[in-house]
Homo-oligomer: A and B are copies of this chain.
Amino acid sequence: MTTNQKPFKRILLTGAAGGLGRILRERIKPWAEIVRLSDISDMGAAQAGEEVVQCDLSDKAAVHALMKDVDVVLHFGGISTENNFEAIMRANIQGTYNIYEAVHQAGVKRVVFASSNHAVGFYKTTDYIDANSPRRPDGMYGISKCFGEDLSRYYYDRFGIETVCLRIGSSFPEPINKRMLVTYFSYDDLVEMLRCCLFTPRVGHTIAFGMSDNPASWWDNRYASHLGYQAKDSSTQFAHKFPDNGDYPEKDDITTIYQGGGFLLTGPQYI
């Protein structure tokens, strides 16, 4: 491969119409001749270097077709907030199974799976955990992310398909509450992390936390050290928006006791 070429011939990005999908659509173009975009929603017209394929991930045949000639997959598709279980099961459980079985059949070598901090949201905000800490999902959404992590582990152990499960923190333009000063993951850092996930020669099956270089942290990325990810951004620049105050939360306020924050207040019975 000469340096004139882009590294990959074709990247598949699922969830391309979602919040992060729209960001990534712009940012990952340098990595592939063609970016194939997929979502259940409308993604607009294909731009240069793009292929647009509307697809319900719970449709197995469609997903297998989607995988044709793909080198690597950024699997950001599915439901990305708490929802009723059946919807999550269809989109995130059936859907992720379809992705992996298609990956396996198509001979794709590597996947980045958009997991979530909500796979471990029931740790306390005074805990400090790493990728080997037992999971503590904080809802149906988090449970579906645990499923994806287990599923991808299986496909690695059994078939050698590499995956980085990226437990994304809060990837937004900026933190919108105090909690996000801890979990903030800037778009630039997200893109840099994805670059590391795709271009590290070997990643095996890695669970990494997606966060910027924020002052406070609940997550130790030691088991992702081989990725070489180095955050450039920090939530510090936004700290002034949430000035210090002495209004401590109530002792039984679970949204501040546990890392999952507001997700804790949602649950299967409320939806």
- On whether the beta carbons of A150 and B135 are closer than 8 Å, the reply is yes
- Residues of B contacting A3 with CB < 8 Å? 243
Indicate whether A146 sits within 8 Å of B150 (C-beta atoms), given known contacts A71-B246, A217-B226.
yes
Q: Tell me, rounded to whole Å, the shortest Cβ–Cβ distance linking A252 to chain B.
A: 9
Sampled A-B contacts (21; CB under 8 Å): A1-B246, A72-B246, A93-B147, A104-B269, A125-B226, A126-B204, A128-B222, A134-B134, A137-B150, A138-B154, A143-B150, A147-B150, A181-B228, A199-B245, A202-B249, A202-B257, A215-B230, A216-B225, A216-B226, A217-B225, A218-B225
Indicate whether A1 sits within 8 Å of B222 (C-beta atoms), given known contacts A89-B94, A101-B268, A105-B269.
no
- On whether the beta carbons of B200 and A216 are closer than 8 Å, the reply is yes
- On whether the beta carbons of A247 and B217 are closer than 8 Å, the reply is no
Q: Does A220 contact B (CB under 8 A)?
A: yes
Count of residues in A whose CB is under 8 Å from the partner chain: 87
- Residues of B contacting A132 with CB < 8 Å? 134
Chain A, 78-111, CB within 8 A of any chain B CB: 85-86, 89, 93-94, 97, 101, 104-105, 109-110
- On whether the beta carbons of B139 and A143 are closer than 8 Å, the reply is no
A255-271 to B contact mask, C-beta < 8 Å, 1/0: 01100000010011100
- Residues of B contacting A89 with CB < 8 Å? 89, 93-94, 97
- Residues of B contacting A215 with CB < 8 Å? 228-230
Q: Determine the distance from Cα of A230 to Cα of B181 in the docked complex, in whole angstroms.
A: 14
Q: Determine the distance from Cα of A266 to Cα of B167 in the docked complex, in whole angstroms.
A: 30
Which of A1, A97, A136, A158: most chain B CB closer than 10 A? A158
Nearest opposing residue in chain B for A179, CB measure: B201
Q: Does A244 contact B (CB under 8 A)?
A: yes
Known A-B contacts: A101-B269, A128-B226. Give 15 more (CB < 8 A): A1-B247, A7-B246, A72-B246, A93-B147, A110-B248, A126-B203, A131-B134, A143-B147, A143-B150, A143-B151, A158-B264, A162-B248, A182-B228, A201-B249, A216-B225
Chain A, 108-132, CB within 8 A of any chain B CB: 109-110, 122, 124-128, 131-132
